[in-house]
Chains A and B, each alone.
Chain A
Amino acid sequence: KQEVTQIPAALSVPEGENLVLNCSFTDSAIYNLQWFRQDPGKGLTSLLLIQSSQREQTSGRLNASLDKSSGRSTLYIAASQPGDSATYLCAVRHNYGQNFVFGPGTRLSVLP
Protein backbone atom coordinates (compact mmCIF):
# COMPACT_ATOMS: atom_id res chain seq x y z
CA LYS A 1 0.00 0.00 0.00
CA GLN A 2 1.37 3.37 -1.06
CA GLU A 3 2.23 5.73 1.79
CA VAL A 4 3.15 9.35 1.29
CA THR A 5 4.89 11.41 3.94
CA GLN A 6 5.92 15.05 4.00
CA ILE A 7 8.61 16.77 6.00
CA PRO A 8 8.47 19.13 7.75
CA ALA A 9 4.90 19.19 9.01
CA ALA A 10 5.16 22.94 9.51
CA LEU A 11 7.66 25.60 8.52
CA SER A 12 7.97 29.26 9.33
CA VAL A 13 10.43 31.44 7.45
CA PRO A 14 11.09 35.16 6.96
CA GLU A 15 10.13 36.73 3.67
CA GLY A 16 12.71 36.39 0.92
CA GLU A 17 14.13 33.04 1.96
CA ASN A 18 14.47 30.13 -0.42
CA LEU A 19 12.95 26.95 0.99
CA VAL A 20 12.51 23.27 0.24
CA LEU A 21 9.56 21.06 1.05
CA ASN A 22 10.02 17.30 0.99
CA CYS A 23 7.73 14.47 -0.08
CA SER A 24 8.50 10.75 0.20
CA PHE A 25 6.55 7.77 -1.14
CA THR A 26 7.02 4.08 -0.48
CA ASP A 27 6.07 2.54 -3.83
CA SER A 28 8.13 3.82 -6.76
CA ALA A 29 5.69 2.44 -9.36
CA ILE A 30 4.07 5.80 -9.84
CA TYR A 31 2.57 7.33 -12.96
CA ASN A 32 3.00 10.92 -11.86
CA LEU A 33 3.36 13.16 -8.83
CA GLN A 34 1.56 16.41 -8.22
CA TRP A 35 2.08 19.29 -5.83
CA PHE A 36 -0.96 21.17 -4.58
CA ARG A 37 -1.51 24.28 -2.52
CA GLN A 38 -4.36 24.61 -0.05
CA ASP A 39 -5.34 27.90 1.52
CA PRO A 40 -7.31 27.86 4.79
CA GLY A 41 -10.96 27.00 4.19
CA LYS A 42 -10.39 26.45 0.49
CA GLY A 43 -9.96 23.58 -1.92
CA LEU A 44 -6.69 22.44 -3.46
CA THR A 45 -4.99 24.18 -6.35
CA SER A 46 -2.58 22.26 -8.55
CA LEU A 47 0.87 23.81 -8.73
CA LEU A 48 3.04 21.37 -10.64
CA LEU A 49 2.64 17.92 -12.13
CA ILE A 50 5.66 15.71 -12.86
CA GLN A 51 5.27 12.64 -15.05
CA SER A 52 7.26 9.58 -13.94
CA SER A 53 9.62 10.01 -16.90
CA GLN A 54 10.46 13.58 -15.94
CA ARG A 55 13.01 14.81 -13.42
CA GLU A 56 11.63 18.26 -12.72
CA GLN A 57 9.05 20.88 -13.55
CA THR A 58 9.23 24.63 -13.10
CA SER A 59 6.60 27.32 -12.82
CA GLY A 60 7.70 30.81 -11.89
CA ARG A 61 9.38 30.71 -8.48
CA LEU A 62 8.46 27.06 -8.00
CA ASN A 63 10.55 24.08 -8.99
CA ALA A 64 9.58 20.50 -8.30
CA SER A 65 11.96 17.58 -8.70
CA LEU A 66 11.30 13.87 -8.78
CA ASP A 67 13.62 10.96 -7.96
CA LYS A 68 11.45 7.92 -8.53
CA SER A 69 14.07 5.36 -7.58
CA SER A 70 14.53 6.83 -4.14
CA GLY A 71 10.84 7.67 -3.70
CA ARG A 72 11.36 11.38 -3.21
CA SER A 73 10.18 14.70 -4.52
CA THR A 74 11.06 18.20 -3.46
CA LEU A 75 9.29 21.49 -3.99
CA TYR A 76 11.65 24.44 -4.08
CA ILE A 77 10.22 27.91 -3.52
CA ALA A 78 12.52 30.78 -4.37
CA ALA A 79 12.34 34.21 -2.76
CA SER A 80 9.36 33.33 -0.58
CA GLN A 81 6.58 35.87 -0.07
CA PRO A 82 3.85 36.18 2.58
CA GLY A 83 1.36 35.21 -0.12
CA ASP A 84 3.03 31.81 -0.31
CA SER A 85 1.68 31.01 3.16
CA ALA A 86 -0.51 27.93 2.77
CA THR A 87 -0.44 24.17 3.18
CA TYR A 88 1.40 22.31 0.45
CA LEU A 89 0.42 18.74 -0.34
CA CYS A 90 2.01 16.22 -2.64
CA ALA A 91 0.04 13.41 -4.24
CA VAL A 92 1.14 10.38 -6.24
CA ARG A 93 -0.76 8.34 -8.78
CA HIS A 94 0.11 4.70 -9.34
CA ASN A 95 0.80 2.97 -12.59
CA TYR A 96 -1.88 0.47 -11.66
CA GLY A 97 -4.61 2.74 -10.39
CA GLN A 98 -6.37 5.96 -11.19
CA ASN A 99 -6.57 7.48 -7.76
CA PHE A 100 -4.13 9.83 -6.06
CA VAL A 101 -2.65 9.17 -2.63
CA PHE A 102 -2.04 12.39 -0.75
CA GLY A 103 0.57 13.28 1.82
CA PRO A 104 -0.42 15.02 5.06
CA GLY A 105 0.91 18.37 3.89
CA THR A 106 3.43 20.96 5.05
CA ARG A 107 1.98 24.11 6.59
CA LEU A 108 4.11 27.05 5.47
CA SER A 109 4.12 30.48 7.05
CA VAL A 110 6.15 33.24 5.41
CA LEU A 111 6.57 36.16 7.78
CA PRO A 112 6.78 39.72 6.44
Chain B
Amino acid sequence: GAVVSQHPSRVICKSGTSVKIECRSLDFQATTMFWYRQFPKQSLMLMATSNEGSKATYEQGVEKDKFLINHASLTLSTLTVTSAHPEDSSFYICSALGYEQFFGPGTRLTVL
Protein backbone atom coordinates (compact mmCIF):
# COMPACT_ATOMS: atom_id res chain seq x y z
CA GLY B 1 0.00 0.00 0.00
CA ALA B 2 0.92 3.66 -0.26
CA VAL B 3 2.96 5.33 2.46
CA VAL B 4 1.84 8.25 4.58
CA SER B 5 4.12 9.77 7.18
CA GLN B 6 3.47 12.07 10.11
CA HIS B 7 5.83 14.31 11.98
CA PRO B 8 6.40 14.46 14.85
CA SER B 9 5.43 11.05 16.17
CA ARG B 10 4.99 12.46 19.64
CA VAL B 11 5.08 15.93 21.13
CA ILE B 12 4.79 17.33 24.62
CA CYS B 13 4.00 21.00 25.02
CA LYS B 14 2.95 23.50 27.62
CA SER B 15 -0.60 24.75 27.87
CA GLY B 16 -1.19 27.80 25.68
CA THR B 17 1.37 26.97 23.02
CA SER B 18 0.65 25.97 19.44
CA VAL B 19 1.70 22.70 17.89
CA LYS B 20 2.02 21.87 14.20
CA ILE B 21 1.67 18.32 12.89
CA GLU B 22 2.71 17.44 9.35
CA CYS B 23 1.18 14.74 7.17
CA ARG B 24 2.93 13.69 3.98
CA SER B 25 1.98 11.24 1.26
CA LEU B 26 5.36 9.84 0.24
CA ASP B 27 4.69 7.98 -2.98
CA PHE B 28 1.51 9.44 -4.40
CA GLN B 29 -0.22 12.77 -4.79
CA ALA B 30 -3.28 13.34 -2.66
CA THR B 31 -5.80 16.01 -3.49
CA THR B 32 -7.70 15.08 -0.35
CA MET B 33 -6.39 14.35 3.11
CA PHE B 34 -8.27 13.77 6.34
CA TRP B 35 -7.51 14.50 9.97
CA TYR B 36 -8.77 12.33 12.83
CA ARG B 37 -8.47 12.41 16.59
CA GLN B 38 -8.54 9.39 18.87
CA PHE B 39 -8.87 9.38 22.64
CA PRO B 40 -7.78 6.34 24.68
CA LYS B 41 -10.03 3.30 24.29
CA GLN B 42 -12.17 5.15 21.74
CA SER B 43 -12.59 5.01 18.01
CA LEU B 44 -11.26 7.50 15.51
CA MET B 45 -13.23 10.70 15.17
CA LEU B 46 -13.06 12.55 11.85
CA MET B 47 -12.13 16.19 12.43
CA ALA B 48 -11.85 17.63 8.97
CA THR B 49 -11.37 17.03 5.28
CA SER B 50 -8.44 18.86 3.73
CA ASN B 51 -8.46 19.65 0.02
CA GLU B 52 -5.36 20.92 -1.76
CA GLY B 53 -5.66 24.57 -2.64
CA SER B 54 -8.92 25.19 -0.82
CA LYS B 55 -10.26 25.61 2.69
CA ALA B 56 -10.73 22.57 4.85
CA THR B 57 -14.18 21.26 5.65
CA TYR B 58 -14.66 20.71 9.36
CA GLU B 59 -16.98 18.19 10.98
CA GLN B 60 -19.69 19.46 13.27
CA GLY B 61 -18.38 20.45 16.67
CA VAL B 62 -14.76 20.89 15.58
CA GLU B 63 -13.47 24.43 16.07
CA LYS B 64 -11.87 25.60 12.85
CA ASP B 65 -10.04 28.46 14.59
CA LYS B 66 -8.47 26.08 17.06
CA PHE B 67 -7.49 23.37 14.60
CA LEU B 68 -5.95 25.12 11.62
CA ILE B 69 -5.49 22.99 8.55
CA ASN B 70 -3.35 23.88 5.57
CA HIS B 71 -3.05 21.72 2.45
CA ALA B 72 -0.56 23.67 0.39
CA SER B 73 0.66 20.90 -1.87
CA LEU B 74 -0.47 17.54 -3.18
CA THR B 75 1.80 15.75 -0.73
CA LEU B 76 1.58 17.82 2.44
CA SER B 77 -1.17 18.79 4.85
CA THR B 78 -0.57 20.37 8.24
CA LEU B 79 -2.70 20.55 11.36
CA THR B 80 -1.92 23.27 13.87
CA VAL B 81 -3.45 22.99 17.32
CA THR B 82 -3.55 26.58 18.52
CA SER B 83 -3.42 27.55 22.18
CA ALA B 84 -3.36 23.92 23.20
CA HIS B 85 -4.88 22.85 26.50
CA PRO B 86 -4.69 19.54 28.39
CA GLU B 87 -8.05 18.45 26.96
CA ASP B 88 -6.46 18.59 23.48
CA SER B 89 -4.12 15.79 24.48
CA SER B 90 -4.91 12.99 22.08
CA PHE B 91 -3.67 10.78 19.26
CA TYR B 92 -3.94 12.68 15.97
CA ILE B 93 -4.00 10.64 12.78
CA CYS B 94 -4.01 11.81 9.20
CA SER B 95 -4.87 9.95 6.04
CA ALA B 96 -4.41 10.60 2.35
CA LEU B 97 -6.87 9.57 -0.31
CA GLY B 98 -5.37 7.65 -3.18
CA TYR B 99 -7.15 4.69 -4.67
CA GLU B 100 -7.90 3.95 -1.03
CA GLN B 101 -7.53 5.97 2.15
CA PHE B 102 -4.04 5.43 3.56
CA PHE B 103 -3.29 6.38 7.14
CA GLY B 104 -0.26 7.86 8.81
CA PRO B 105 1.23 6.35 11.96
CA GLY B 106 -0.28 9.02 14.21
CA THR B 107 1.04 11.78 16.45
CA ARG B 108 0.69 11.56 20.21
CA LEU B 109 0.11 15.04 21.63
CA THR B 110 0.43 15.64 25.35
CA VAL B 111 -0.37 19.10 26.68
CA LEU B 112 0.87 19.79 30.19
Q: Are both chains from one complex?
A: no
